[in-house]
Chains A and B, each alone.
Chain A
Amino acid sequence: MENTLEDLAHSLNMTTTEEGTTFDALLTEAGVLEVVCSNNDEFPIHIAKTEAQLLAVTPLFNVSEVQEGKADELNAVMLQLSPAIPLSSIGLQEGNYILFGAMAVNTKFENIVHELEVQAENTLEVLDAIESLLV
């Protein structure tokens, strides 16, 4: 099943997971789908699509939000956390630390939902873990 981001937004807005998570999905002008998961509505997931992949990106914080002199420690911790987070990786994109997951464009809808739900949860866990290194 390969759908447009609009289709995905529509399906997400109609969905409630077994854990009771709901989604608020909106297609932005930039062509990026912004998804707010009810289990973490402070850090929305941005979904972009290429020919082969769906990219789910959650912005965590900007480099400028890291405490002075703590960047190296933070980077080392983030690299070590990354393999421990199911379905998501940690990345740095133009000065923003991000959590991201990549899926094949033909990923089943239920699996997309699961991935988003887990990513929203992972975001909280990662931020909770490294919070003390931020301003």
Chain B
Amino acid sequence: MSILRDMFTALRGAGSDIGESIIDANAVRILEQEIRDAEDAIGKARQSLTRLKGNEIKLKRAVNSLEADVADYEVKAMEALDADEQDLAAKVAERIAELETERDEKSTEHKKLSDEVESINSMIKNRNKIIQKNKRELEKIKTIKELQKTTTSISSNIAATGSNQHRVKKALERVKAKQERWRDNMEAGEWMAVEDGTDDLDRELKDAGIGSPASKGNSVLERLKAKQAGQSAG
């Protein structure tokens, strides 16, 4: 019935191996067949629904028109009575009775049809429910199938690493070491950025002639020139 229950049974029977039993068993075909059947049934139901709905609308219209006629004749019957035309009024009353009988017949027929439309609609809904449920079940089966595909490569991966001893531990250590290096590099990068920033500031100061060796050199030269000028004067 449900794929999960099948899995449970298979797991209990075979230990840890779900195996091909559930996947390739007729489960998929049965589910797909049920979906197709339900879709066919819905297709047919929709066709007859179109026809029934057409008839239903026609009948409804007939009932409405008969009701209008009845109302119309009732007014006329009253007018005849007012004009004291008793015979005429009786004839009109007879017509009204006929119309009402016809209206009731059509109305019953209409009710029957609309019930039928209703039940076909709910049948379609039920079939749709089956389709959706089966599609979900199929999705579960396909999920297991796809998981098995990934597992196949997993097993070969683990086997390929050779010795299982400390496999996870070693891999974890490698990743951690790599992350450590990455963090160190990042911090180093940030440190470099800070250093570069300082260089920029120095350059700006130098450009402005503040605190730079060049300007110091210049002032020394000026001082010496001043000294020389003083000596030759003296």
Contact = CB atoms under 8 A, between A and B. Distances in A.
B216 interface: no
Given A51-B139, A95-B16, A59 B158 contact: yes
A99 to B, nearest CB: 11
Interface residues of B, number: 32
Given A59-B151, A65-B168, A96-B158, 19 more contacts: A28-B153, A30-B152, A32-B153, A39-B179, A40-B175, A41-B175, A48-B147, A50-B139, A50-B145, A51-B142, A61-B158, A65-B167, A93-B151, A94-B155, A96-B155, A98-B147, A127-B168, A128-B172, A131-B172
A134 B164 CA distance: 10
Given A32-B153, A34-B153, A53-B143, A64 B164 contact: yes
A93 B147 contact: yes
Chain A binding surface, main DSSP class: strand
Interface residues of A, number: 42
Contacts of A48: 146-147, 149-150
B178 interface: yes
Interface in A29-61: 30-32, 34, 39-44, 46-53, 55, 57, 59-61
Contacts of B152: 30
30 contacts: A30-B153, A32-B150, A32-B153, A42-B175, A43-B175, A46-B154, A50-B145, A53-B139, A55-B146, A55-B150, A57-B147, A59-B154, A59-B157, A60-B168, A64-B164, A65-B168, A92-B16, A93-B151, A94-B148, A94-B151, A94-B155, A95-B17, A95-B155, A96-B151, A96-B158, A98-B150, A98-B151, A124-B172, A124-B175, A131-B172
A92 B153 CA distance: 15
Interface of A: 28, 30-32, 34, 39-44, 46-53, 55, 57, 59-65, 92-96, 98, 100, 102, 124, 127-128, 131, 134-135
Nearest to B139: A52
B169 interface: yes
Contacts of A39: 179
A40 B146 CA distance: 23
B142 A50 contact: yes
Given A92-B16, A135-B166, A62 B158 contact: yes
Interface of B: 16-18, 139, 142-143, 145-155, 157-158, 164-169, 171-172, 174-176, 178-179
The CB with the most chain A CB atoms within 10 A, among B18, B147, B150, B175, is that of: B150
B83 to A, nearest CB: 76
Report, nearest first, the 6 A-B pairs whose CB atoms are least far apart. A48-B146, A59-B154, A46-B150, A42-B171, A50-B142, A57-B150
Nearest to A49: B146
